[in-house]
Amino acid sequence: MHIEFVERKYRPSWRLPEELASLQVTFPRGRIVKYLSDKHYGFLKTKNGKHLFFFIPEIDLLGPESALRVGLEVGYDVTVVGKKMRVTKLKVY
What are the extents of the domains in the chain?
27-92
Name the pTM for this structure: 0.71
Quick one: average pLDDT of 76-92?
A: 90
Superfamily grouping for domain 27-92: Nucleic acid-binding proteins (2.40.50.140)
pLDDT confidence of residue 21: 53
- In angstroms, the Cα distances linking 79 to 58, 66, 73, 87, 88 are 12, 24, 20, 6, 6
**Residues 9-62: pLDDT tens digits?**
555 555 656 655 555 668 999 999 999 999 999 999 999 999 999 999 999 999
Taking the C-alpha atoms of residue 10 and residue 37, their distance in angstroms, rounded to an integer, is 42
Give the ranges where 9-93 is alpha helix by DSSP (H): 18-21
Taking the C-alpha atoms of residue 42 and residue 40, their distance in angstroms, rounded to an integer, is 7
Q: How confident is the model at residue 83 (pLDDT cuts 50, 70, 90)?
A: confident
pLDDT confidence of residue 84: 87
